[in-house]
Amino acid sequence: MFRKRPFTNSLISRNMNALLFSLLGTFLFLFSIRHLSLHYSSDQWLLLGSMFCASLILYFYTFQIPPEGSKQSMDSAVYLACLFIFGTPAALALLLLSSLLFALLERKVSWWKHLTNFAIYTIMIFGAGTVFQGLGGQQGQLQNVHLLSYVGALIIYFAINVLCIGIYYYMIDRSDIYRMVKGLLQESVLVYLCILILSLVLTILIVNNGITGLVLFLGISIFLSHLFKKLFDMYMQLQERAIRDQRTGLFNHSYFENLLEKEIRYARSESTPLSLAMIDIDDFKRYNDHFGHLQGDKLLGLLGSILQEEAARAGVTAARYGGEEFTLLMPGYTEQEALILVNRLRKMVNDTAFEGVEILPHACLSFSAGISSYHIDIHDKSLLVLQADQALYDAKKQGKNIAYIFGSSVPIEQEIEIAQDVRDIEQLLNLFLYKDINTFKHSKRVFRYAMDMSLLLKLDANTRKQFVLGALIHDIGKLEIPWEILNKKDALTPVEWEAIKKHVNWGKEMAMTNDKFKGLAPYIELHHERYDGHGYPHGYKGAEIPLLCRMLTIIDSFDAMTSERPYQATKSIKEAIEELRLCSGTQFDPELSELFIAYIEGKTGLEPAQAESSL
């Protein structure tokens, strides 16, 4: 299954863009060509004919520069040189003849693409010529006093090209035009710089040496094109080696991480499904210990070849994550579609003969897999990996040779696990008993609120577990804040406030040191983000903040308002509800605020002291 984009709208936009560019280019061509002079000497006609032949040859020789491989044919140098020597009309006439011949030579390319390309070149040449004349440039010999006019013409030629291409693709994809133009500039500025400088070199050579200079330039250009192609091919070979795992031939961990980040961005912006599978060979250590590492490497290579072939067929990306672990990144796949694909692969692997696998518990080569799918609350790639890894852990517990979707564990097991995790977190929270008992009591109350809200939100067992544990541990970073600040009775200074704000970063770092609590990091890090984007540490706003982190912000703030704090007055429950409504849409998510307010009002208006003992 390959990722699909909306086809009809992009086709209409593409055709409209082509039509608009073609109309504008045709108009500018007809407007300029009226001034074409045919009163050239025989030498000048010979030179123009030679430039026409040069443009045809250079069309097929391009500059291609790492890392993106941006291409630009060097015929632009000829058109610009013609503009500087003979003027805009002559350059456009040269372009027309070249474009007609290209269309005949490349008949497989749609006619409208040839027309659009001709129109964009026309706009570029017209713009460069207009600026050249406007800045006082004169045709013929290159003069130092008019250097500004040459530089201006070259800049405009480049800028119009980038702008036209940016507008063309923006009208198709409707993505951020600033980001798109910036990307085009980064990719092509070096290529254009080379070609535009060469156009000045060609102008000097032609003016001083005529056809001889043109032939010399042609030879140098072909040589440079060949050299740059060799350089790019060498770079691509090195890059391919850098992103491949040498033992299996699959993409390596670094490539997977970069691709995952890009795919998450795409899934977020386009609202398309994205699934990830973590795959681990069952009992690989036992096989390695029995047959040795060389045979184990062969087994890894076999699985890698199977994954690579099937991934290519399914339109997904397979990578070696490390050791005997692999990943399948599946854009366009829902978690159920991913499960079907992974189970098909698993059965294929089971049926693959390999020396010595009969000693393994399943008497065949097998793997376990954990599957997670992107959803709006995943703000970081590491969380998607953690969820797939947790699902893999669950699959191993169920006897291996099985694929599991994250969150599909048996409920009773979830209850046992959450009870143990709560005890582990409470051991950390006990440190607050001597340092800041208010934070200890606050964390307990927030945990109880979260337990109730998880039921109202109808969370599945695994999401509920993550939410309530995140609520319990959300302020753990305050362990790093000095006792004097945590227990200060007076208002905090700006420096002290900055120290308080750092607790979200410190808490995240603490959680990331324990594999069991890595999935709780978003609750620790993001519970002080605001709905309007004025929170910390990142300034996320609206749906950029995971839904349950927005819920935790409301719970945390409500309890902070209704409990004693050294740096603010305590509010009654009624006052706190009024504050929630007042800040709804700015600090808090409006819908979640009303849901929480309805829950609190349903608690019969208990005062804070009573609420602490009852909730």
CATH 1.10.1760.20: which residues of the chain?
7-243
Mean pLDDT of 433-438: 74
138 membership: H or E segment, kind and range: none
279 membership: H or E segment, kind and range: strand 274-281
- At 477, list the tokens: 């970073």
What pLDDT is recorded for position 177?
56
Are 280 and 211 a contacting pair, CB within 8 Å? no
* Residue scoring higher pLDDT (414 or 267): 267
**What is the tens place of the pLDDT at every residue in 300-346?**
999 999 999 999 999 999 999 999 999 999 999 999 999 999 999 99
Which single residue is written with the structure tokens 């696990």? 417
CATH 1.10.3210.10: which residues of the chain?
411-614
* CATH node for 7-243: 1.10.1760.20
Of 113, 114, 83, 112, nearest to 98 by C-alpha is 114
- Lowest-pLDDT choice from 350-364, 482-496, 503-517: 482-496
CATH 3.30.70.270: which residues of the chain?
253-405
Residues 275 and 252: their CA atoms lie apart, in Å, by 18
- Lowest-pLDDT choice from 81-90, 278-287, 386-395, 410-419: 410-419
Are 110 and 51 a contacting pair, CB within 8 Å? no
Are 78 and 100 a contacting pair, CB within 8 Å? no
What pLDDT is recorded for position 581?
93
- % pLDDT > 70, the chain: 87
Residues 268 and 299: their CA atoms lie apart, in Å, by 37
* CB-based contacts of 593, cutoff 8 Å, min separation 6: 554, 580, 581, 583, 584
Radius of gyration, CA atoms only, the chain: 33
Of 336, 407, 333, 326, nearest to 367 by C-alpha is 326
What pLDDT is recorded for position 343?
94
**What is the tens place of the pLDDT at every residue in 26-84?**
999 999 998 888 888 888 899 999 999 988 888 877 766 555 545 667 788 899 999 99
* CATH node for 411-614: 1.10.3210.10
**What is the tens place of the pLDDT at every residue in 455-475?**
899 888 788 888 999 999 999
**What is the tens place of the pLDDT at every residue in 536-549?**
999 999 988 999 99
What pLDDT is recorded for position 591?
94
What pLDDT is recorded for position 291?
93
- At 435, list the tokens: 């340092």
Q: DSSP states of 243-269 as a string? A: HB-TTTSSB-HHHHHHHHHHHHHHHHH
Residue 218 — very low, low, confident or very high, per pLDDT cuts 50/70/90? confident
* Residue scoring higher pLDDT (437 or 450): 450
What pLDDT is recorded for position 282?
93
Are 510 and 533 a contacting pair, CB within 8 Å? no
Mean pLDDT of 106-122: 86
**What is the tens place of the pLDDT at every residue in 126-178?**
999 999 999 988 888 777 778 889 889 988 988 888 787 777 666 655 555 56
Residues 580 and 218: their CA atoms lie apart, in Å, by 73
Which residues share a beta bridge with 373?
275
What pLDDT is recorded for position 233?
80
Are 118 and 99 a contacting pair, CB within 8 Å? yes
Mean pLDDT of 577-599: 94
* Residue scoring higher pLDDT (566 or 48): 48
Q: Mean pLDDT score of the chain, rounded to an integer?
A: 84
Query: Judging by beta carbons within 10 Å of its beta carbon (0-12, 13-18, 19+), is residue 609 exposed, middle or buried?
Result: exposed
- Lowest-pLDDT choice from 326-335, 353-362, 585-594: 353-362
Superfamily of domain 253-405: Reverse transcriptase/Diguanylate cyclase domain (3.30.70.270)
Residues 411 and 194: their CA atoms lie apart, in Å, by 64
What pLDDT is recorded for position 15?
67
What pLDDT is recorded for position 64?
65
E-only strand ranges, 144-245: none
Print burial letters for 514-526: b (CB count within 10 Å at least 16), e (below 16): eeebbbbbbbbbb
Which residues share a beta bridge with 404?
370
